[in-house]
C-alpha cells in the first residue's frame, strides 16, 4: 500500500493579493525588503545582488535600503506582512511599500498615507524622507521604482 502526499493548498488570494512587479527596480527592491525583513539588515545576498545590479554605485542604494528598513522596523506599531523570497505574489503591505517608495519624491502626501497605513502609525514624515532618498538612489542609477 502506497500513500501519496497531501496536495499542497492553493494560494490564498487574500494573503497574497498582488502579482510581482514587472519593473527590474521594483523587483530588486522587493527582494531587498523580503531578505532584510527575514535575515536582517546585513544580509549578504542583498549586498551581492545590489553589486551585480548597480556595479560600483551599489553602496548608496544599499545603505539607504538598510536605513529605510531600520526606520520601518523602529517606527511600525504593528506586524508588517512580508512574504518569503520564493513567493510569486506580494502581500498588500509589500505592494503598499513599493507604491509608497515610488511616490515618495513626486507625491509625498500619498506616500505618507500609505506608509502610515502599513505601519499603523500616524506620524510617517521621517520614513517618507527615507523612502524619497531610496527612490532617488534607484532612479539615479537607472532603475526607477514604480516605473
Q: For 109-132, what is each residue's pLDDT tens digit?
A: 999 999 999 999 888 999 999 999
- The residue that leads in pLDDT, 18 or 136, is 136
The conformation of residue 16, written as its DSSP 8-state character, comes to S
Q: For 35-89, what is each residue's pLDDT tens digit?
A: 999 999 999 999 999 999 999 999 999 999 999 999 999 999 999 999 999 899 9
Read off the pTM: 0.87
Residue 12 has pLDDT above 70, yes or no: no
| Per-domain boundaries in the chain | 23-140
Residue 12's Cβ-count burial label (10 Å; 0-12, 13-18, 19+) is exposed
> Which residues, 6+ apart, have CB-to-CB distance to 91 below 8 Å?
15, 16, 17, 18, 81, 82, 83
Element (H, E) at 90: strand 89-90
pLDDT at 4: 55
Q: How far apart are CA 146 and CA 97, in angstroms?
A: 11
Residue 20 has pLDDT above 60, yes or no: yes
Residue 15 has pLDDT above 90, yes or no: no
Amino acid at each position: 500500500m502506497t500513500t501519496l502526499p497531501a496536495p499542497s493548498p492553493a494560494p490564498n488570494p487574500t494573503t497574497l493579493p498582488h502579482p510581482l512587479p514587472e519593473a527590474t527596480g521594483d523587483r530588486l527592491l522587493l527582494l531587498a525588503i523580503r531578505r532584510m525583513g527575514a535575515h536582517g539588515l546585513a544580509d549578504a545576498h542583498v549586498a551581492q545582488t545590489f553589486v551585480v545590479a548597480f556595479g560600483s554605485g551599489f553602496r548608496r542604494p544599499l545603505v539607504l535600503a538598510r536605513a529605510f528598513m531600520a526606520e520601518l522596523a523602529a517606527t511600525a506599531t504593528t506586524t508588517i506582512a512580508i512574504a518569503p523570497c520564493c513567493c510569486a505574489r506580494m502581500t498588500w503591505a509589500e505592494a503598499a511599500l513599493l507604491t509608497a517608495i515610488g511616490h515618495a519624491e513626486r507625491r509625498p502626501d500619498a506616500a505618507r498615507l500609505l506608509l502610515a497605513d502599513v505601519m499603523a502609525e500616524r506620524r510617517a514624515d521621517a520614513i517618507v524622507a527615507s523612502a524619497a532618498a531610496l527612490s532617488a538612489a534607484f532612479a539615479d542609477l537607472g532603475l526607477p521604482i514604480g516605473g
